[in-house]
Amino acid sequence: MYGNYDDLNKLPQFDLYIGVNLWDTVMFDNATHVVIKEILHVPSLDELYVCLLNTDKGTPFISALEVRHFDHSSYRTNSKLLSLYKRFDIGSTTNEIVRYDKDDYDRMWYPYNLPDSTPLNTSFTVDSLNHTAYHLPSAVMKTAVRPTNENDSLEFEFDTGQPTSESYVYMHFAEIEVLNENESRAFDITLNGKLWAEYVTPTYLQSNTIDGNQSIRGSKLKFSMHKKPNSTHPPILNAMEIYIVKEFLHSPTNQDDVKAIINIKSHYKLASSVGKSWQGDPCAPSKYSWNGLNCSNNGYNSPTITALYLASSGLGGTIIASFLELKFLESLDLSNNSLTGPLPDFSQLQHLKALNLSGNRLSGEIPSLLKERSNNGSLLLSVDGNLDLCQEGPCEEDKMNIAPLVAGILSVVVFFIVLVIVLNIIWRRRCNRKPASKQAVRLNEEVVLKTNNTQFTYSQISTIANNFDKMIGKGGCGIVYLGSLQDGTQVAVKMLLPKCPQGSQQFQTEAQLLMRVHHKNLASFVGYCNEVGHTGIIYEYMAYGNLEKYLSICSPVLISCLHNYLIKDYIYLSKVEIIVYFVSE
């Protein structure tokens, strides 16, 4: 009901869609007119969209949306969508609408009397066992009408106003009069002069439904119910429903594309941050497709997303894998955002012809296959403005003198963080007392062989590191990100850069050492990932900074003390001997 809620005194008109197909047009006779639209629909997908489309005739609105589940064996047709035209409780004695809780399906039965008819009713319950799939309410079926003249036919007609439409008619019958053994009620039903149902004999206090077994073409529906020659009683009718068939002219968007674009919308919060009207189906109907999308639509197959334009859309964080799930993408523009992290291998998108990633903060190397497609002209690639992205050849190593030495010994940033903490404690003890005689410092803890370390997939590591959105360290061959396990434990995730010299060898050495060594003063080894193109190690997170931070704040006295002490003594971790060199430029 409009009710002039907007004080415009202008009756609106708008279209109603179910999924990507037109359901009906909503129109009002006056401001107090209550409009109810009802359909029977068998959805083919897990999700169902109901859309109100503005047709420039007033703002669409909705007062309520209700969903009911029906028995699959009722209202069986070849159509997936039936729109209710009329539903009548014929011969009603209360003149009230019957619905739940009298109707299990909450259908709304409107009182109606046929012309030249006499109402009948019974006080007994009809169909108390609900032996049919329609579950017709007893309050409806216990009333009926018959011709006023028992020798006449029961006639009535309707005009749906849609000459090209198809419709289904369901007539519901139940005998509510007690007939003697020598009495009977039998009749035929004709539609527009042709036999529609033959020899109908209602059963006492039990409902049965006749639908003619086929749809009816045209808007004119003229029914006539004729008593059979051997029948002692005239025809009756208890209830009736008329539905109009709605054709599905459009197919929904490819479901893999839908899932991918919904994930992108959710991850980057596009609907709120960019103001895009991303609701309903992404591609269909074509004139209502989402902003920033181009779709293929040949009218036969499901539409697919072929172009996605999200330039200057405020995107942040890494480029998530959902972009790679848009298999039919031909053009992708993510320029002028704040995207970070490595560049995914978009070469797997076979149809991709243009990729614009300029003006972001991507790092690492360009995947070789992607670079190859760019070089051979099959892909127009733009990555300008990504200062940390190595566009020509492999990324250069850190030129600091200490980096090759540290990488050659252990190559583990977190390991050195722990080592500096241990050395700092020892220095404080020795600087507060006179130098003691030489003695080897031995740790009493026994090395424990770890056998339950976990191997993670790249997808799991990506989840742990929250799509690699927070970098906490960087070396010549790897980047360390902050991550979190499912129980909330913070961890450090080190991902090795592709094509890093000695990267694979260092990873193996590092993983083998950390799988064997377990000590209270060393960072715990949580797990590793070793997939093609993705190599990484997960450690216990140390919250006190890295080696560079500690060395940068050390005074010359501290450096001298550490140096003098280390060249005199050795630190033993059970059977593992570690010698630390300090080299100044």
Do residue 348 and residue 420 come from a single domain? Answer: no
| Residue 24 belongs to a domain | no
Do residue 385 and residue 421 come from a single domain? Answer: no
Helices (H), 89-207: 138-141
Q: Which residues does residue 354 pair with via DSSP β-bridges, in sequence order?
A: 331, 380
What CATH number should be reported for the domain holding residue 330?
Answer: 3.80.10.10
Secondary structure of 494-533 in the HEC alphabet? EEECCCCCCHHHHHHHHHHHHHHCCCCCCCCEEEEEEECC
Both tokens assigned to 236: 């009756």
| Residue 497 belongs to a domain | yes
Q: Which of the residue ranges 51-55, 87-91, 287-291 has the most confident prediction, judged by mean pLDDT?
A: 87-91
Q: Count other Cβ atoms within 10 Å, centred on residue 388.
A: 13
Three-class SS of residue 556? helix
Q: Count other Cβ atoms within 10 Å, centred on residue 572.
A: 13
Q: Which amino acid is located at 512 in the chain? A: Q
Percent of the chain predicted with pLDDT > 90: 52
Do residue 272 and residue 229 come from a single domain? Answer: no
Q: What is the mean pLDDT of the chain?
A: 82
Do residue 100 and residue 199 come from a single domain? Answer: yes
Q: Count other Cβ atoms within 10 Å, centred on residue 315.
A: 23
Residue 324 — φ and ψ, nearest 5°?
-75, -10
Query: CA 400, CA 389: separation in Å to the nearest integer?
Result: 20
Query: CA 347, CA 379: separation in Å to the nearest integer?
Result: 9
Q: Count other Cβ atoms within 10 Å, centred on residue 541.
A: 19
Average pLDDT over residues 298-318: 91
What CATH number should be reported for the domain holding residue 547?
Answer: 3.30.200.20
Do residue 381 and residue 437 come from a single domain? Answer: no
| Residue 20 belongs to a domain | no
| Residue 584 belongs to a domain | no
Both tokens assigned to 10: 């202008």
Do residue 319 and residue 421 come from a single domain? Answer: no
Query: CA 268, CA 274: separation in Å to the nearest integer?
Result: 10
Query: CA 250, CA 252: separation in Å to the nearest integer?
Result: 7
Average pLDDT over residues 313-328: 95
- Residue 425, Cβ density class (10 Å: 0-12 exposed, 13-18 middle, ≥19 buried): exposed
Q: What pLDDT is recorded for position 117?
A: 95
| Residue 55 belongs to a domain | no
Final residue of a structural domain among 199, 217, 245: 245
Average pLDDT over residues 2-21: 92
Torsion of CA 35, 40, 45, 46, to 10 degrees: 70
- Is-above-0.75 flag for pTM? no
Q: What pLDDT is recorded for position 566?
A: 43
Average pLDDT over residues 275-280: 73
Do residue 414 and residue 385 come from a single domain? Answer: no
Query: CA 400, CA 287: separation in Å to the nearest integer?
Result: 58
Helix (H) or strand (E) holding 15: strand 14-18
Both tokens assigned to 529: 């990932």
User: Residue 546: which pLDDT band, with cuts at 50, 70 and 90?
Assistant: low
Query: CA 81, CA 250: separation in Å to the nearest integer?
Result: 13
Whether residue 399 is predicted with pLDDT greater than 60 in this model: the reply is no
Picking from 279, 268, 280, the residue whose alpha carbon sits closest to that of residue 310 is 268
Give Cα 536 to chain centroid, integer Å: 30
**DSSP strands (E only) in 131-289:** 143-147, 154-159, 166-173, 187-191, 194-200, 208-210, 216-217, 220-227, 239-245
Residue 578 — φ and ψ, nearest 5°?
-120, 125
Query: Which one is predicted more confidently, 413 or 370?
Result: 370
User: Residue 274: which pLDDT band, with cuts at 50, 70 and 90?
Assistant: low
Query: Which one is predicted more confidently, 110 or 421?
Result: 110
Question: Could you say which DSSP state residue 575 is in?
Answer: T
Domain containing residue 109:
68-245
Query: CA 138, CA 239: separation in Å to the nearest integer?
Result: 11
Contact 570, 579 (CB under 8 A): yes
Final residue of a structural domain among 193, 211, 245: 245
pLDDT tens per residue across span 333-376:
999 999 999 999 999 999 999 999 999 999 999 999 999 999 99
Out of 130-144, 225-239, 270-284, which region has the weakest mean confidence (pLDDT)? Answer: 270-284
pLDDT tens per residue across span 200-222:
999 999 999 999 778 899 999 99
Do residue 81 and residue 138 come from a single domain? Answer: yes
| Residue listed under structure tokens 């309903």 | 280
Do residue 270 and residue 230 come from a single domain? Answer: no
Contact 21, 248 (CB under 8 A): yes
Both tokens assigned to 583: 């080299």
Long-range contacts of 271-279 (CB under 8 A, 24+ apart): 273/313, 273/314, 274/310, 274/313, 274/314, 279/51
Whether residue 431 is predicted with pLDDT greater than 80 in this model: the reply is no
Do residue 498 and residue 544 come from a single domain? Answer: yes
Final residue of a structural domain among 227, 245, 263: 245
Query: CA 247, CA 374: separation in Å to the nearest integer?
Result: 46
Contact 109, 99 (CB under 8 A): yes
Q: What pLDDT is recorded for position 456?
A: 86
| Residue 353 belongs to a domain | yes
Contact 474, 457 (CB under 8 A): no
Contact 126, 141 (CB under 8 A): yes
Three-class SS of residue 435? coil
pLDDT tens per residue across span 25-76:
999 999 999 999 999 988 877 778 899 989 999 999 999 999 998 888 888 8
Query: CA 111, CA 93: separation in Å to the nearest integer?
Result: 8
| Residue listed under structure tokens 């029906």 | 70
Both tokens assigned to 204: 């006492």
Both tokens assigned to 473: 């360290």
Q: What pLDDT is recorded for position 510?
A: 73
Asked if omega into 487 is within 30° of 0 (cis), the reply is no
Contact 498, 365 (CB under 8 A): yes
| Residue 39 belongs to a domain | no
Do residue 453 and residue 426 come from a single domain? Answer: yes
What CATH number should be reported for the domain holding residue 134?
Answer: 2.60.120
Lateral strand order in the sheet of 534-540: 454-455, 525-531, 534-540, 490-496, 478-484, 471-474
How far are the Cα atoms of 140, 305, 317 from residue 309, in angstroms, in the given order?
57, 11, 17
Contacts of 39 (CB under 8 A, 6+ apart): 18, 23, 81, 82, 83, 84, 246
| Residue 41 belongs to a domain | no
Indicate the number of domains in the chain.
3
pLDDT tens per residue across span 460-502:
888 899 888 888 888 777 888 999 988 888 899 988 877 676 6
Whether residue 79 is predicted with pLDDT greater than 60 in this model: the reply is yes
Whether residue 162 is predicted with pLDDT greater than 80 in this model: the reply is yes
